[in-house]
Amino acid sequence: MDALKNLQNALSKFVQVNLGHLPTPLEAMPNLGAALGLDLWVKRDDCTGVGMGGNKVRQLAFYFGAAKAQGADCVLITGAVQSNFVCTTAAFAAKCKMECHIQLEERVPDVSDLYRNNGNVLLNRLFGANLHSYPTGEDEAGADAALGRLAEKLQNAGKTPYIVKLGIASAPLGALGYVAAAAEIVAQAKDMPPFDEIIVPSGSALTHAGLLFGLRALGDKTPVCGICVRRAGDLQSARIAQKLDEIGAMLRIDTGIKSSDINVFDGVLAPGYGQINPAVTKAIKLMANREGVLLDPVYTGKSMAGLMALAKAGNLRGGRVLFWHTGGSPALFAYGDQLL
């Protein structure tokens, strides 16, 4: 109880704009579980409510809290063309009556018109966001600098902009949403048999690092495995380690997390971020026709493909597994020509 109070007190020092439908359900997946030989459960963060839901809703509560504290009237963010994060930011901004500027980065090669105009791009426009383009896909520093120049222009025009900073050099404010989510899942699962492992997508590392930090701060030792969706495992592990240190500094909590706590799997990453492979297509279709649950090609489909690969190889830490569904279903409509 003391650990929970300490964590809640540390989080309370940060302003939040809580719009999410929380707590999200914890749901058994017996049909898919039987097919995989697992006692499979899903944490339904696809049901967080804002802009078709997803994990970004928890993270944006803290970013928009900071924006509100600074008196901002417009918000800026950069991400891939089909980014769930930028789309949810646009929805959040609409709800908060703030102007939204989205910079779309060219991270995925050889895309179709469907990719450029449907899915999250369509929603961005419906939410009233202003769209900008950045021609390079893997240039975090350059994309951040371009966004900074756009913010300067808006400031010169009399606006008060706030940038949602997601780059490696930025403090992981959004990760605090998943530090809090750790307390939520611990409370939901307290009267259940313990999970042997939690599987989560690992991209910016905010969800993965936040969840791992929160669990360890509460004394929960459940292994967390991040399925790499953007970069190779060695690079992702280093990123997670950095973010864990930064979260600890922000909250002034020492969890004693060890390097052995950082687990990643990049076996289904190829050919790269936002690109489908046969394992991802199989995972999306299997979840849909066994459980009626939608996964996306970029994050959750790839993560379920990773879970399935680990299960097949006998490399899961046990048979009772929690899959953390981080949303992203709008992207399905941008990949329809490839999925079918």
- Cite the active site residues: 83
Write out the two tokens for 23: 């707590």
Compute the distance between CA of residue 203 and CA of residue 279 in angstroms, rounded to an integer: 18
Asked if 43 contacts 323 with a C-beta cutoff of 8 angstroms, the reply is yes
CA 300 from chain center: how many Å?
9
Kindly report each contact of residues 12-17 with a partner whose C-beta sits within 8 Å and lies 24 or more positions away, as own/partner: 14/62, 14/65, 14/66, 14/173, 14/176, 15/62, 15/65, 15/66, 15/68, 15/69, 16/61, 16/62, 16/65, 17/60, 17/61, 17/64, 17/65, 17/68, 17/92, 17/96
Write out the two tokens for 295: 């996964």
Compute the distance between CA of residue 227 and CA of residue 137 in angstroms, rounded to an integer: 20
Helix/strand/coil (H/E/C) assignment for every residue in 198-253: EEEEECCCHHHHHHHHHHHHCCCCCCEEEEECCCCHHHHHHHHHHHHHHHHHHHCC
Q: Which amino acid is at 157?
A: A
Write out the two tokens for 214: 């929160």
Place of tokens 């779309």: 104
For residue 258, the number of C-alpha atoms closer than 13 Å in the C-beta half-sphere is 4
